[in-house]
Amino acid sequence: MESDKSRELRFGKRMLSTVVVAVIALFAMSAVSVAADKPKRTIKGNMTEVYHKLPDNASNLMEIFTKGMYYGRLRTTIFKWNWEEHGKHDPRGFAVGGSLIYKTAPFYGVSATVGYYYSHTLDALKDRDAWFGKSGKDTFSRYDALNDNKWYMSVFAQAYLEYKFGKTDIKAGRMIVECPFVKSNDTKMIPNTMQGFTVKTKEIPKTTLNLMYFDKQKLRDHTKFHDVITFGNNQYNQPNAEPWDKWANQDDSAIHKGLSYTNLEAAGMHTNNRLIVLGLTNKSIPKLKLDVWGAIVPDLFATLLTEANYKISLGDGWTLTPGFRFMQQFDDGAGEIGGAALTGKLAGMSGEAKGYDDADSCDAKMYAGRLVLKKGPGKLHFGYSQVTDDADFITPWRAWPTQGYTRSMAQYNWEADTKSWMIKGVYDFGKAGLIKGFKASLDYTTMYYDDDKERLGSIKKTDRNIIHLDMWYKFPHLKKKYRWFEGLEAKARMGLVDADDLSNGSDPSYNEFRFELNYLF
């Protein structure tokens, strides 16, 4: 039976949650009266932020704050996951929350940004929703829920200083990052953010150079910053460990579980790792965009990404853009410690094992190509990707090797010997003058995994077909009548996954449904 003290604590937490959401809502109300024709900030279809208005320069110390600007967001998300096989727990999620971001006015090029984020679950969730949670788990922290009975998240996910001069931008602190290796992936309640510094410069004509250094990461379902690669904490795999200790550190869905705290410490390696990212984007040749990027986790592995996209005008408003991506992962010790498979099943093995030819090597390659046909409000995308039969790609920073080519919602397809095809259509009914404020995206994807690897237990995937639908609506009629609805947008997502049976006879097929409301102010 729940004690009086526990009830008081739970009541206090709920009161705190109510106050936080109410304060954010109050900011939203005050913003309506000063709303301008052009919004301060919008969100793209992939949920990345676009700032249209930034603070003007300050001419004195007082104006650093008086000319500063805040950017608010209220959001609610609902998730439902249905396994095809009866008897499994069907996880769900329902949360409300939001964020307040404040930017000071630049003073001689120096400014600061602070972003506070909050998420609170409203559904009657139980421990099993933390243990077996799928997409809805990112509305709360599994570790906090099981370790401290906290079903909400409250965190300053952004807090950085910025210095701009000429065509160079330097940031230091906690920040949102968007690059081929790291993304905010803000499709739940709180974005993925990194701690470190970044340097971006466009001093060379038609060329953008990036240098990034990160020593911490905060995943979407965490309230504390943690290591960029280490799975589990110092209690993980110890006799006195709690079952949820595996979620105390880097526990992204695409984490390499073989690179655990226990394994790294036993090998005399770092458990406080760094991620270094270097990038070059060049547009010197008309209609051709070239990218060369590298990511390094010292003493473990490095990854090279090269990509080319060439835009061809077909006439009558049609364009065709062929794209090609090549990635190579270079092992520098990660394979010997954690093995070639992300599941960690090959840790400590060598030679041929569980379907892999080199169990202790993380060397890997991926080839991907696409054709993107566009005209006006419509886009048609054909994509293909193939990972060589060597090792799985290590990429737990929410940007995926196959993203933009063959990755569909909640699907990971960068394990060794995986091939994928995708056809995707996007149509903006508003731009076409058919349905104002409405946009939709539909893709059909086929993924082929290595049956031997699944049968031998090194991976947990089988061949599958996916139908994925996204729909956006911006309530144009309400916006025209009531300024309250200026920043309101709804998004619905559906994923239908038909997968082959696992070797043990169970069916991993499922249906997934998501609904989100966003209100920007």
Tokens at 265, concatenated: 């410490």
Q: What is the pLDDT of residue 136?
A: 86
Q: What is the DSSP string of 442-492?
A: EEEEEEE--HHHHHHTS-----EEEEEEEEEE--HHHHHH-GGGTTEEEEE
Helix (H, G, I), strand (E, B) or coil at 125: coil
Can you tell me which residue has the tokens 């739970």? 10
Q: What is the pLDDT tens value at each position of the chain, 521 positions in all?
A: 444 444 444 444 544 454 455 445 445 444 444 444 678 999 888 888 999 999 999 999 999 999 999 999 999 999 999 999 988 888 888 999 999 999 999 999 999 999 999 999 987 777 788 888 888 889 999 999 999 989 999 999 999 999 999 999 999 999 999 999 999 999 999 999 999 999 999 999 999 999 999 999 999 999 999 999 999 988 877 778 888 999 999 999 999 999 999 999 999 998 999 999 999 999 999 999 999 999 999 999 999 999 999 999 999 999 999 999 999 999 999 999 999 999 999 999 999 999 999 999 999 999 999 999 999 999 999 999 999 999 999 999 999 999 999 999 999 999 999 999 999 999 999 999 999 999 999 999 999 999 999 999 999 999 999 999 999 999 988 877 777 777 899 999 999 999 999 999 999 999 999 999 999 99
Tokens at 329, concatenated: 């992962």
Q: Give the model confidence (pLDDT) of 322-338 as tens digits.
A: 999 999 999 999 999 99
Pairwise CA distance, residues 154 & 444, whole Å: 37
Q: Classify residue 107 by its DSSP letter.
A: B
The domain locations on the chain are: 299-333+363-521
Query: 418, 448 in Cβ contact below 8 A?
Result: yes
Instruction: Say how many residues make up the chain.
Output: 521
Q: Which residues of 154-164 are buried (b: 16+ CB within 10 A; e: fewer)?
A: bbebbebebee
Write down the H helix ranges in 61-155. 63-66, 127-131, 142-148
Query: 237, 192 in Cβ contact below 8 A?
Result: no
**What radius of gyration do the chain's Cα atoms show?**
23
User: HEC profile for 75-113?
Assistant: EEEEEEEEECCCCCCCCEEEEEEEEEEEECCCECCEEEE
Pairwise CA distance, residues 398 & 253, whole Å: 9
Pairwise CA distance, residues 398 & 254, whole Å: 8
CB atoms within 10 A of CB 81: 23
Q: What is the pLDDT of residue 134?
A: 87
E strands present in 317-404: 318-331, 364-375, 378-387
- pTM for this predicted structure: 0.90
Pairwise CA distance, residues 125 & 134, whole Å: 13
Pairwise CA distance, residues 75 & 94, whole Å: 11
Write down the H helix ranges in 192-329. 261-266
Q: Classify residue 336 by its DSSP letter.
A: H
Strands 438-448 and 419-428: antiparallel
Q: What is the pLDDT of residue 7?
A: 43
Q: Which residues contact 410 (CB under 8 A, 6 or more apart)?
A: 134, 135, 495, 512
Pairwise CA distance, residues 198 & 178, whole Å: 11
**What φ, ψ does residue 502 adopt, rounded to 5°?**
-70, 165
Distance set, CA 483 to CA 59, 218, 223 (Å): 33, 35, 34
Which amino acid does the sequence have at 256? H
Helix (H, G, I), strand (E, B) or coil at 57: coil
Query: 416, 458 in Cβ contact below 8 A?
Result: no
Distance set, CA 459 to CA 196, 337, 368, 387 (Å): 33, 18, 22, 14
Tokens at 264, concatenated: 């790294």
Q: What is the pLDDT of residue 46?
A: 85
Torsion sign over Cα 16, 18, 20, 22? negative
Helix (H) or strand (E) holding 280: strand 275-282
Helix (H, G, I), strand (E, B) or coil at 47: coil
Helix (H, G, I), strand (E, B) or coil at 315: strand
Tokens at 521, concatenated: 């102010």
Write down the H helix ranges in 171-267. 261-266
Distance set, CA 374 to CA 309, 429, 442, 445 (Å): 14, 14, 15, 20
- Give domain 299-333+363-521's CATH architecture: Beta Barrel (2.40)
Q: Which residues of 306-333 are buried (b: 16+ CB within 10 A; e: fewer)?
A: ebebeeeeeeeeeeebebebebbbebbb
CB atoms within 10 A of CB 72: 22
